[in-house]
Structure 1
């Protein structure tokens, strides 16, 4: 198989079509998807494939509008009145999703995490808190943290890269960023990073708190079989990104069952692994941004530089935090 170019790597992660580049493909997909709505909010919160939207069991809390291709969450109390309280609304959603999980309707719910992700409205208000494994079914924006740990050596910069456990439901055995994790409802990005560094890499808090915030990375991914469960699910994401310059004696070690091991690789070894398709798609995406920031990937050595840099920061079409 031919090596992947840097633009190939970007396109593999940010693979939902752009209207400006392919309006016909965009319109065909957009017209095919159902749109996820919460009653009382005018904004579309996510895109859902028909194979998913039409399988959800309809109760008093849900309405499928086939004419306008919308799946609408309309939580009701015991008197059939609309529920506007945030906690009660989420309790109804959690109970419903647990019921769907028990019926084994969707493969992605086999990766149930008992962890809730936030969903925001058009004024950045917190609308819902949804079980993590269910979010790809609804195509809502999710948030995470990704950190690149690197060491300055006599041979140049080296990067710590773990290999994902073969038992993971998503992207088993692929290479990852030094530390990465999802942002739960109510959790601050940097505190999430500190927690994930301890859990995944056994890195001490005092070292992790020297990490530098480097902005965000946004993309709109459509899942394939490597992600586990149903394919074609929409996964728009925003990642808060960090760099951690590590001393030579700081050695990350797996602190849970997420990773097999950590390898300290030269930039050239990382780039080769990316070109060979060994990195998880969004991790390769993030490493390209890291290379841009550190002057490793430049307009002088990358013919697709402008498009790559632009697509590392996609404007998402849903409300965000």
Structure 2
């Protein structure tokens, strides 16, 4: 199968948008529970997970449950964090959800209105509650010269990874845990995944906005299919010299990457069309193409929908009130 650019967006932004497709949204969420805090929606919970919350013997008395809503008890960030931790710990010990077999001991922040933390929770459990998560992605590229076209460093994920094995990725990418900033995440991941020196990255990386989407996890993501994963990925670019001259060259470091390939834009486009990129990395690559003039209204009839969908206005409180005004 070959994918159009819009079909690549459909793969990563698969949840109906309440603002643009209200009927589809209503039909999709008819049997979902809204995860709320102070009347604000902070996530969506599918029936499979709601059933676990209804099992008080397993989930405890840390939840306020109505037919259509779920909220976490606790008057403080610390209390809510502890209640969420106890719930997910019990689920993990009971092997209630396969996704928790990938437990990372890494905390993510879920935000309340005005960018304030609502609670913190285990990263692997976030899709169970459909809460908004964050990451940083960087595209490292060699600019065009009089004799060579622009080329992009593209890594192939290790075959042994539990999620998206052997698929293509952005040059550097990682989730953003508690206390981390987007730039600090990129600098850390650049060293761990690609052996890129921190000082070099800090000096040469350039912020390029973000992409946002609402992903519905499939089997290739690991764990239960159908779990919800809205995300904001902060996007960075970094131009480097020719690998046979100025460098630096990305080199696998932590076992998560099998190889790095230096591909031309047509070669990357072909891999995208074949569906070989991890879905959210395809979104970041399309955003790179738009920003660098490789994808525009002259060669892509769906450019308006593609660009709009890659920068979706999400209905959840975010870590920065002005995120969607940047």
Same fold (TM over 0.5): yes
The alpha-carbon deviation at position 232 of structure 1 amounts to 1.1
Partner Cα separation in structure 2 for residue 149 and residue 276 of structure 1: 22
State the secondary structure of the residue aligned to 2:41. coil
CA–CA separation in structure 1 for the residues paired with 2:81 and 2:251: 36
1:220 aligned residue: 214
Count of matched residue positions in the alignment of Structure 1 and Structure 2: 308
The answer to whether the 8 A contact 2:59-2:90 is kept is: no
What is the SS of the residue equivalent to 1:277?
Answer: coil
CA 1:72/1:21 → structure 2, altered by over 3 Å: closer, same or farther? closer
2:190 to 185, 192, 197: 197
Alignment map for 1:102-181 (pairs within 5 Å): 102-153=93-144, 154-181=147-174
Q: CA deviation at 1:20?
A: 5.4
Residue 5 of structure 2 aligns with which residue? 6
Shift of 1:33: 1.0
SS at match of 1:292: helix
The answer for unaligned runs of 5 or more in structure 2 is 320-326
Distance, in Å, in 2 between the alignment partners of 1:212 and 1:142 is 22
Match for residue 32 of structure 1?
Answer: 31
TM-score, structure 1 normalization: 0.92
1:231 aligns with 2:225: yes
The match for 2:83 is 92
Partner residue in 1 for 2:314? 316
Deviations 1:118-171 (CA, angstroms, capped at 9, x unpaired):
111122111111100000000000000000000125321110111111222221
TM-score by length of 2: 0.91
Aligned equivalents of 2:17 and 2:183: distance in 1? 31
Per-residue CA deviations over 1:90-109 (Å, capped at 9, x if unaligned) read: 23322331221111000110
Question: What displacement does 1:37 show?
Answer: 2.5
State the secondary structure of the residue aligned to 1:140: coil
8 Å Cα contact 2:73-2:83 kept in structure 1: no
C-alpha separation between the residues in 1 aligned to 2:211 and 2:310?
6
Q: Per-residue deviation at 1:188?
A: 1.1
Deviating beyond 4 angstroms after TM superposition, the runs of 4 or more aligned structure 1 residues are none
Which range is displaced more, 144-153 or 132-141? 144-153
Q: Deviations over 1:19-45 (max 9, x none)?
A: 45543321111222111134xx22111
Distance 2:20 2:182 in 1: 33
Give the match's secondary structure for 1:156.
coil
RMSD across aligned positions (CA): 1.4
Is the CA contact 2:107–2:177 (under 8 Å) kept in the aligned structure 1? yes
C-alpha separation in 2, matches of 1:101 and 1:220: 25
Residue aligned with 2:59, SS: coil
Judge conservation of contact 2:215–2:228 (CA < 8 Å) in 1.
Answer: yes
The CA deviation at 1:88 is 3.9
Q: Quick check: which one's helix share is greater?
A: 2
Aligned partners of 2:308 and 2:178: how far apart in 1?
29
CA–CA distance in 2 between the matches of 1:176 and 1:192?
Answer: 16
Counterpart-to-counterpart distance in 2, 1:88 and 1:23: 35
